[in-house]
């Protein structure tokens, strides 16, 4: 059926695809409220601009391929693949292509922590050491004063790190590239990639408190291993591996059929290839390595990285986001309370700076000031992305979910994220501020 769509004009294909997708919407994202059919049809027609733009990125050699999903008022209104999953074999990108979603994994772990809080098994205000005793005493590396023979000094942390600190990336824990990067490098703990490790993430996390962190707890935003540590907290509290917990509590209840840490053998031919910018356009990224194809098919399969480990599809991830937009429920399955979802998706930074016009919740940036943000959007919008250049956002005000998946690392100078944002909000009829 998908092949037939490619033989008809774009506008007709999208309109037809929309009707087909709406019929199976409950399988994809569920519904929050009745949609206005006239508005939805007009919105879909105006999304032709997304189709044209992403076809151009592919034809210009800036992207090998991508999948874009847009859900509006609880229904998938746009789900389009572009280009190729594998340029070398000319395998086409499809709607069910599987992508490495990297830091988009963090959202599932945040949901897991909130589930355990609702069950009374932990509190976000708890010190991490309550569950991981090695975090009872930690240190921080600070720049040495002028004239010192040392590059930095190591001082005690002023207080213990809490789960709240980890959820908001205010624990002071980076990815091992900070002031004391030499010690993190010597310990073999740098970067976000874990898939090739022949040891569980819990073993790596247990070695972290012996190394100096980048900032005092609660003093500034530092993006790093925070959510990997939260994944280990989930394991310790639940008594399950992170993989088993996420599958049984979130992935399967939400019908996310293609979301895994490592690919089942029967799905390996659906995994998108990773590309990287070269001197004359994008080229196939090397294998192995975190900037390559990664050990997601062949490898130890022992490290379940809560910070950056999952694989998924646009439709699967759309279901997770729609559940959150619905206030914690999807298709009659309640995963979280509305109160927990609200806590996750409001600014939790307590005055700590994050980004222009933005706050930060429990794993998401939160749009608070459009003038400072300087891009189209809606107040209260929240979202994040992944290292392989994927992106998502959710606008409660517009009842909008957008998922954009591609595999490009590093991203280079491509402007696709901003272009997609502008085109989606233009299609919604937003007027520039």
Residue pLDDT, tens place only, 169-226: 999 999 999 999 999 999 999 999 999 999 999 999 999 999 999 999 999 999 999 9
- Specify whether 82 is located in the same domain as 144: no
In this model, does residue 33 exceed pLDDT 90? no
- Specify whether 91 is located in the same domain as 192: no
What is the model's pLDDT at position 128? 98
- Specify whether 85 is located in the same domain as 132: no
pLDDT single digits (tens) 246-280: 999 999 999 999 999 999 999 999 999 999 998 88
- Specify whether 10 is located in the same domain as 62: yes
Per-residue three-class SS string for the chain: CHHHHCCCCHHHHHHHHHHHHHHCHHHHCCCCCCCCHHHHHHHHHHCHHHHHHHHHHHHCCCCCEEEEEEEECCEEEEEEEEEEEECCCCEECCCCCEEECHHHHHHHHHHHHHHHHHCCCCCCCCEHHHCCHHHCCCEEEEECCCCCCCCEEEEECCCCCEHHHHHCCCCCCCCCCCCCHHHHHHCCCCCCCCCCCCCCHHHHHHHHHHCCECCCCCCCCCCCCHHHHHHHHHHHHHCCCHHHHHHHHHHCCCCCCCCECCCCHHHHHHECCCEEEECCEEEECCCCCCCCCCCCCCCCCCCCCCCCCCEECHHHHHHHHHHHHCCCEECCEECCCHHHHHHHCCCCCCCCCCECCEEECCCCEEECCHHHHCCCCCCCCEEEECCCCCEEEEECCCCEEEEEECCECCCCCCCHHHHHHHHHHHHHCCCCC
In this model, does residue 428 exceed pLDDT 80? yes
- Specify whether 273 is located in the same domain as 321: yes
Final residue of a domain: which of 194, 221, 239? 239
253 domain residue, yes or no: yes
pLDDT single digits (tens) 367-411: 999 999 999 999 999 999 999 999 999 999 999 999 999 999 999
- Specify whether 96 is located in the same domain as 11: yes
Final residue of a domain: which of 194, 213, 239? 239
In this model, does residue 362 exceed pLDDT 60? yes
What is the model's pLDDT at position 25? 41
111 domain residue, yes or no: no
Question: Which CATH number goes with the domain that contains 139?
Answer: 3.40.710.10
Final residue of a domain: which of 206, 239, 272? 239
What is the model's pLDDT at position 30? 43
- Specify whether 160 is located in the same domain as 263: no
pTM for the full model?
Answer: 0.90
- Specify whether 94 is located in the same domain as 172: no
321 domain residue, yes or no: yes
Domain with 195 in it = 120-239
Number of domains in the chain: 2
């Amino acid at each position: 059926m998908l092949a037939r769509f490619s033989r008809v004009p774009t506008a007709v294909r999208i309109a037809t695809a929309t009707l087909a997708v709406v019929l199976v919407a409950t399988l994809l994202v569920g519904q929050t409220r009745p949609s206005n059919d006239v508005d939805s049809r007009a919105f879909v027609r105006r999304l032709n601009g997304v189709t044209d733009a992403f076809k151009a990125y592919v034809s210009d050699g800036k992207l090998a391929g991508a999948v874009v999903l847009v859900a509006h008022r609880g229904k998938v209104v746009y789900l389009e693949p572009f280009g190729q999953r594998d340029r070398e074999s000319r395998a086409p990108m499809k709607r069910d292509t599987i992508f490495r979603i990297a830091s988009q994994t963090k959202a599932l772990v945040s949901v897991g922590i909130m589930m355990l809080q609702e069950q009374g098994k932990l509190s976000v205000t708890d010190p991490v050491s309550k569950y991981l005793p090695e975090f009872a005493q930690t240190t921080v590396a600070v720049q040495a004063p002028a004239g010192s023979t040392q590059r930095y000094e190591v001082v005690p942390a002023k207080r213990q790190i809490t789960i709240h600190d980890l959820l908001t990336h205010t624990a002071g824990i980076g990815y091992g590239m900070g002031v004391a990067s030499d010690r993190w490098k010597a310990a073999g703990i740098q970067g976000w990639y874990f898939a090739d490790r022949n040891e569980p993430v819990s073993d790596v996390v247990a070695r972290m408190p012996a190394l100096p962190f980048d900032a005092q707890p609660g003093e500034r935003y530092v993006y790093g291993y925070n959510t990997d540590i939260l994944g280990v907290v989930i394991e310790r509290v639940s008594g399950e591996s992170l993989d088993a917990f996420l599958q049984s509590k979130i992935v399967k209840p939400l019908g996310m059929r293609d979301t895994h840490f490592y690919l089942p053998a029967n799905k390996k031919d659906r995994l998108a290839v990773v590309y990287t910018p070269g001197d004359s356009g994008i080229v196939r990224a090397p294998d192995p390595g975190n900037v390559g194809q990664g050990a997601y098919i062949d490898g130890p399969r022992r490290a379940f990285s809560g910070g950056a480990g999952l694989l998924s599809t646009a439709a699967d991830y759309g279901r997770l986001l729609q559940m959150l937009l619905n206030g914690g429920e999807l298709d009659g399955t309640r995963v979280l309370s509305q109160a927990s979802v609200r806590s996750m998706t409001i600014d939790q930074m307590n005055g700590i700076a994050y980004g222009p016009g933005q706050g930060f919740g429990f794993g998401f940036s939160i749009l608070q000031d459009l003038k400072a943000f300087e891009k189209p959007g809606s107040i209260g919008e929240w979202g994040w992305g992944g290292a392989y250049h994927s992106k998502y956002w959710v606008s409660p005000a517009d009842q909008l979910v957008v998922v954009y998946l591609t595999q490009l690392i590093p991203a280079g100078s491509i402007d696709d994220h901003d272009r997609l944002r502008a085109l989606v909000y233009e299609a919604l009829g937003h007027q520039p501020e």
